[in-house]
Amino acid sequence: MTTEISIFATLAALVALALLAFRHRRSRRQSEAEVNAWKLRLELDLQQARDERNRLLDALGDAFVLVDSDANIRFANEAARALFGARELLNRPVSEAFLDPRLAEALLRCLATGEPVQSRLVLPQQTSPRGDLENRGVNAWIIDAARLSNPPGGSPTTRVIIRDVTAEHQLEQVRKDFVANASHELRTPLAIINGYLENLLDDDMIEKPEMARRFLTIMRKHADRISHIVEDMLVISRLESGEASALKIEPFPFHSCIKDILERLESVIQNQSAEITITLPDPALVIHGDRFYWTQVLFNLVENALKQNPHSGLRLEIGCEAAGENVRIWVSDNGVGIPSADLPHIFRRFFRVEKHHSQQEIKGTGLGLSIVKRAIEAHGGTIGVTSVPGSETKFLITLPKEPR
């Protein structure tokens, strides 16, 4: 009996042990599975966080690059990849990836000192990061490098932002040129006026009324020119200083604008026996805009055609028609035209076609077409020009029908 009991007890103990072992194995398997699932979730979370970070950095307009302490690139956002084109960036040293050493310079300085570095670079086109030739001239860049705060135990990472400031640089350049050109343009008539004044005063020309009158007439012509230049400069500056948003937009029939300028230019048109054609399929066509500027736009274009072709026989057309969502306005003439090499520059401030002005006295300020372009753009429109000298020179304006 006792033997049976002890066998039974042993068996029970064995079963209990087996059960325990089984439960232990099961719980180990369970916890292993849990750890694996947990690891997987962690990896997924990590990947998601990384994707989210990359998405955010890709959304940046500026090129953004992360660099390790050995100056190898560890991350480059979409703008950076686009900037460096087909070149491989990841895991490459910056000195190889950034073609121009001056681009890498700020970053290397930051890596060496640990201090943030910001520098502005103006590079000729061929040495720009892009290395392409999409726009001639120079590219301007701001390189901003700073070390990121270290993760515990991690090696230092430096971030570099490369911002393309070419547009701002060009604008700055245009402003500088404007001031330089304006001073130059004003200096000439001022010097002439001063010269005649000296003659009048020092050489006692006042005693000779005939001569004095001649001198004064010349002086007045140049004084008129100065006030013309100043007026044009003021119009440009008004259009550029945001005053365009204060344009007095109202609907008005375009034919009234044509009538105004033809009245103002009537004597010139008659003197030159110019033939004017008005193409206005819908005489009641209304445009939305500031009438003052539209009259000036039309006046400058028609006056230019007359001014550049003082001989008789000029045929000039002024047209305006609805075209879908837009209104098309054009001024064309069959005069001397504009050489194709000059066409891309024709709307630049103070630009004049050399050929037209080399032999005779300066007629215009060279600001007329820039005023035209600015005024049209302030209305949300565009202007283009085509020219076949002697055949047709056409300025074509496209303006949205509804004001923007």
- The smaller minimum CB distance to ligand ADP, of residues 37 and 362, is found at 362
- Minimum CB separation of residue 190 from ligand ADP in Å reads 18
Please answer whether residues 280 and 254 qualify as being in contact, where contact means their C-beta atoms are separated by less than 8 angstroms: yes
- The smaller minimum CB distance to ligand ADP, of residues 310 and 400, is found at 310
- Minimum CB separation of residue 352 from ligand ADP in Å reads 3
DSSP 93: B
Query: What are 279's strand-pairing partners?
Result: 319
- The smaller minimum CB distance to ligand ADP, of residues 79 and 297, is found at 297
- Taking each helix axis from N to C end, the angle separating 254-264 and 291-308, rounded to the nearest 10 degrees, works out to 50
Cα dihedral across residues 179, 180, 185, 188: positive or negative: positive
Take residue 372 and report the two structure tokens written for it: 């035209």
- The smaller minimum CB distance to ligand ADP, of residues 252 and 351, is found at 351
- Minimum CB separation of residue 355 from ligand ADP in Å reads 8
- Minimum CB separation of residue 346 from ligand ADP in Å reads 5
Residue nearest to ligand ADP (CB): 364
Helix (H) or strand (E) holding 124: strand 117-124
- Minimum CB separation of residue 276 from ligand ADP in Å reads 14
- The smaller minimum CB distance to ligand ADP, of residues 72 and 382, is found at 382
Q: Which residue in 48, 26, 45, 25 sits closest to 37, CA to CA?
A: 45
Q: How far apart are CA 110 and CA 97, in angstroms?
A: 17
- Minimum CB separation of residue 309 from ligand ADP in Å reads 7
Strands 250-253 and 326-333 turn out to be unpaired
Question: CA of 391: how far to CAs of 99, 275, 300, 369, 384, in Å?
Answer: 49, 15, 20, 21, 17
Strands 382-388 and 117-124 turn out to be unpaired
- Taking each helix axis from N to C end, the angle separating 166-202 and 209-240, rounded to the nearest 10 degrees, works out to 160
Provide the 3-class DSSP secondary structure of residue 38.
helix
Q: Which residue in 384, 228, 224, 383 sits closest to 294, CA to CA?
A: 383
DSSP 153: T
- Minimum CB separation of residue 394 from ligand ADP in Å reads 9
- The smaller minimum CB distance to ligand ADP, of residues 83 and 306, is found at 306
- Minimum CB separation of residue 65 from ligand ADP in Å reads 44
- The smaller minimum CB distance to ligand ADP, of residues 67 and 397, is found at 397
Q: How far apart are CA 296 and CA 261, in angstroms?
A: 8
Which residues of this protein are in contact with ligand ADP, per CB under 6 A? 300, 304-305, 308, 333, 335-338, 346, 351-353, 356, 364-369, 393
- The smaller minimum CB distance to ligand ADP, of residues 159 and 349, is found at 349
